[in-house]
């Protein structure tokens, strides 16, 4: 097992079923955030999903009419995830819309200023070096672009954790391991160590399903 595989306790097939059937409320919140960013971006924007897994989120947003002209790209460090993602994208008839790449967030193959929007969901606690990963995400973000990194937080309210674990139980995955997650101050500390404190902020959810997690927002300043 490589350092980037820390805390991965399920197969690609299990993860695909879970994200396909049980995380719709969370995907809808993230998709809504993307739609709110569009007024600042060109129609042919590039959206990058880092740690895309089996691409179920990209399949979801590819069907939104507001993103009909967007370039959609997903990366994942696990080859089995990408293989299953390719099959899922093909089955959805979206191979012409979604590009998939095996890649490591710590050392991305993508060029500088590649994406207008970057999202990454439930991946931060898998990163062996969050400081390095955040630096790479900033590098591939275009000036004026925004990234949103969301994850479960270690200090989430008991009710939110219970609701989340019920979904996981239905998927046969077992309860979430909160001890491997981070708090908002810890995540902001990673941004500070990466030298990104001036362009990053970290928020926590306060109600409903959003209370489970935290979100780090990163905005890259326009070139002068």
pLDDT of residue 210: 75
Residue closest to 152 by CA, chosen among 52, 57, 26, 3: 26
Structural tokens at position 50: 């880092």
pLDDT of residue 40: 85
pLDDT of residue 112: 97
CATH topology of domain 3-219: Rossmann fold (3.40.50)
Residue 6: pLDDT band with limits 50, 70, 90: very low
Question: Bridge partners of 75?
Answer: 50, 101
Residue 103: pLDDT band with limits 50, 70, 90: very high
Structural tokens at position 190: 């990673």
pLDDT of residue 56: 93
User: pLDDT per residue over 155-202, tens digit each?
Assistant: 887 787 777 777 777 666 666 667 788 999 999 999 999 999 999 999
pLDDT of residue 201: 97
CA-CA distance, 100 to 155, in Å (whole number)? 33
CA-CA distance, 73 to 57, in Å (whole number)? 11
Q: What is the mean pLDDT of residues 131-155?
A: 96
Angle between helices 12-21 and 79-91 (to 10 degrees): 40
- Mean pLDDT, the chain, as a whole number? 88
pLDDT of residue 22: 64
Q: Locate the domains of the chain by residue range.
A: 3-219
Long-range contacts, stretch 134-139, CB < 8 angstroms, 24+ apart: 134/190, 134/191, 134/194, 134/196, 134/200, 134/216, 134/218, 135/194, 135/195, 135/196, 136/105, 136/106, 136/107, 136/108, 137/50, 137/105, 137/218, 138/194, 138/196, 138/199, 138/218, 138/220, 139/108, 139/112
Residue 17: pLDDT band with limits 50, 70, 90: low
pLDDT of residue 174: 61
Let me know the angle formed at the C-alpha of 176 by 80 and 161, rounded to the nearest 5 degrees: 135
Question: Bridge partners of 152?
Answer: 213
pLDDT of residue 156: 80
pLDDT of residue 18: 60
The residue ranking higher by pLDDT, 206 or 106, is 106
Residue 219: pLDDT band with limits 50, 70, 90: very high
Q: What is the pTM of this model?
A: 0.89
CA-CA distance, 125 to 190, in Å (whole number)? 12
- The radius of gyration of the chain from alpha carbons, rounded to an integer in Å, stands at 16
pLDDT surpasses 80 at 95: yes
pLDDT surpasses 90 at 220: yes
Give percent above pLDDT 70 in the chain. 86
pLDDT of residue 175: 64
pLDDT of residue 4: 45
């Amino acid at each position: 097992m490589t350092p980037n595989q820390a805390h991965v306790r399920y197969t690609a097939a299990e993860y695909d079923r879970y994200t396909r059937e049980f995380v719709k409320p969370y995907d809808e919140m993230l998709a809504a955030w993307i739609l709110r960013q569009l007024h600042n971006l060109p129609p042919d924007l590039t959206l990058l999903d880092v740690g895309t897994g089996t691409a179920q989120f990209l399949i979801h947003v590819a069907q939104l009419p507001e993103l009909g002209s967007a370039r959609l790209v997903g990366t994942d460090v696990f080859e089995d995830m990408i293989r299953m993602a390719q099959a899922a994208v093909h089955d959805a008839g979206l191979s012409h819309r979604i590009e998939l790449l095996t890649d490591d967030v710590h050392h991305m193959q993508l060029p500088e200023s590649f994406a207008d929007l970057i999202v990454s969901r439930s991946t931060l606690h898998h990163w062996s070096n969050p400081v390095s990963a955040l630096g790479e995400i900033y590098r591939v973000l275009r000036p004026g672009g925004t990234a949103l990194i969301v994850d479960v937080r270690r200090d989430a309210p008991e009710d939110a954790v219970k609701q989340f674990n019920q979904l996981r139980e239905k998927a046969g995955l077992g309860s979430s391991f909160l001890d491997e997650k981070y708090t908002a101050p810890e995540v902001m500390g990673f941004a500070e160590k990466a030298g990104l404190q001036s362009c990053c902020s970290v928020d926590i959810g306060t109600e409903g399903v959003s209370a489970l997690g935290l979100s780090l927002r990163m905005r890259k300043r326009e070139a002068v």
